[in-house]
Structure 1
Amino acid sequence: MELKEEDHSERLSNPSSEKGFTSINSTDALAMLEHGGELTVTITTPVGRAFSCKTLFIGAHSHNLILAELPNLSLEDTGFFFQSGFWATIRAISPRGEGALVSFKTQLEYVLHSPIPIVAFNIPNIMQVNQLRREPRYNLDLPASVKCQGIKMECQMRDLSVHGCRFVTSPLSKAFQASDEITVCIHEALAKKHKFQSMTGHVRNSQSSIHYASYGVEFDEKGIEGSKLLLSKLKFSGNKLILR
């Protein structure tokens, strides 16, 4: 797990003061998150020492608790920073619809080491949400390939809009970094029946889980032309877009 220690991180622990955030109730905010999605947790000790790490979201418990995996840290760091009563700021990116950064301040309630390592935070009444996209993305599931720096690999396109998309790859595949220039192409088998253009753009964000790595892409002008052509060949099937 990625981790970072900081001092006096008042800015991180006060998301409501940041530009672009709006307040919504926690029920609606938690519904935007995906089970198994990545959380960035910044814990602040009573003396102002801050510690950041990444972990995975398990879900919400009916006892007003958020459950997450206990990060794989040293015993010293776990014992020092993961203590009941410590304040934390949690952030997560929702890939659904218009996409959003969900951020909230919470208190650590429980740390369990067995039979499985779990950490529980209380659920605040209000959470902060910052919309990331100018338009909604539509769910789909199309086989595709992605090219970057001469490397080509298979992927699945999971959502699409005129200006961007999200695709997933195997967690063991090459990892892309933010700002990487990539080209997304619809699978050759589908391209034989339909005329498609490649979609070029840059990686803007990423998330990882046990089953796949997920990447958000913002298209450039050429990519926008390709996405418009692809959208014109799709129809809504009730819960996602499919080829006509």
Structure 2
Amino acid sequence: MSRAENYITKYEDRIDISNELPVAGIESTINSSDAIDMVSHSSEFIIDLVTPIGTRYIGKTKFIGRHSDNFLLLELPQIPNDDLDYFFQEGFSMDIKAVSTKGEGAVIRFRCQVINVMLKPIAMLMVSLPSSMKITQLREDPRYDVNLRAQMFTEYLKLECQLRDLSKGGCRFTTSPLAKPVEIGQRVSIRIIAPKKSVLQALPLSGVVCNLQCSMHYAKYGVKFDEESRIHAKTLFRQMKFDVNKLELKF
């Protein structure tokens, strides 16, 4: 079947991700250079593409980087070649959402066009870089880098994890990519591994998983604390000290 015939006969939507929690916050518009600098390499992008005849694709991919000629390079979504040929055609427009975990954290949204699809030597998707992007701040409080061993609990699951950043309102933790995943919207409780007589034993950090990013090295979860854990987080900060660029516990 030719590409033109495939485009005419194909009609089914392809939705590869589940519904995510709504984002609350104040939206503003900033220039794309400042916005894309907030996004880390290998961050997850959510693509929302509607073809000219109304067929929709929603899925995830990874951010590779910015080209000096004002293009963005993304990994190709891992979908069948027929779907790649159908959805990702030169000139098609798409909406992209990215999450920045830096500082106060933000959701970044922008609209772009497919410039080129490259299959060799490395499969990549080249898209246009708009002049501006929409940004919604996620947190009231900045997060600080930490590196703390911890355990994560749900109603039916217990996992070893690493606490990677922390604020008064939430945290980010990582688990093995082979561990059973935790669903967005699920309640979790995190206990920092500390000496038995430490005050930290009585300070679990509980809240709701708001986002998830996966790589070959780990699964990374963002958590929004409940009110009690916001109080616990303040106590935890008083037990910490700065060491170069991150916070460390004082035992």
TM range (shorter): 0.7 to 0.9
Give the counterpart letter for 2:195 in structure 1. A
8 Å contact from structure 1 (residues 25, 126) kept in 2: yes
Alignment pair present for 1:50 and 2:56: yes
C-alpha distance in structure 1 between counterparts of 2:52 and 2:224, whole Å: 40
Q: CA deviation at 1:122?
A: 1.2
Alignment gaps of 5+ in structure 1: 6-17
8 Å contact from structure 2 (residues 177, 219) kept in 1: yes
Q: CA deviation at 1:79?
A: 0.5
C-alpha distance in structure 1 between counterparts of 2:162 and 2:68, whole Å: 34
Cα deviation, 1:46-70, whole Å, max 9, x if unaligned, reads 3343321111111111121111111
Give the counterpart letter for 1:209 in structure 2. S
Equivalent position of 2:99 in the other structure: 93
C-alpha distance in structure 2 between counterparts of 1:96 and 1:181, whole Å: 23
Equivalent position of 1:82 in the other structure: 88
Equivalent position of 2:199 in the other structure: 195
Alignment pair present for 1:229 and 2:235: yes
Cα deviation, 1:88-125, whole Å, max 9, x if unaligned, reads 11111111111110000011111011112100111111
Alignment CA distance shift 1:75-1:224 (3 Å)? same
User: Equivalences for 1:1-244 in 2 at 5 Å?
Assistant: 3-4=14-15, 20-187=26-193, 190-192=194-196, 194-196=198-200, 197-244=203-250
Give the counterpart letter for 1:103 in structure 2. R
Q: CA deviation at 1:26?
A: 0.9
RMSD: 1.8
| Secondary structure of the corresponding residue to residue 27 of structure 1 | helix
8 Å contact from structure 1 (residues 38, 209) kept in 2: no
Aligned pair count reads 228
| Secondary structure of the corresponding residue to residue 199 of structure 2 | coil
Q: CA deviation at 1:170?
A: 0.7
Q: CA deviation at 1:149?
A: 1.5
Give the counterpart letter for 2:15 in structure 1. K
Equivalent position of 2:9 in the other structure: none
C-alpha distance in structure 2 between counterparts of 1:50 and 1:162, whole Å: 39
Cα deviation, 1:17-61, whole Å, max 9, x if unaligned, reads x98321111111111111111110112323343321111111111
8 Å contact from structure 2 (residues 25, 137) kept in 1: no
% identical aligned pairs: 41
**TM-score, length basis structure 1:** 0.88
| Secondary structure of the corresponding residue to residue 178 of structure 1 | coil
Alignment gaps of 5+ in structure 2: 1-13, 17-23
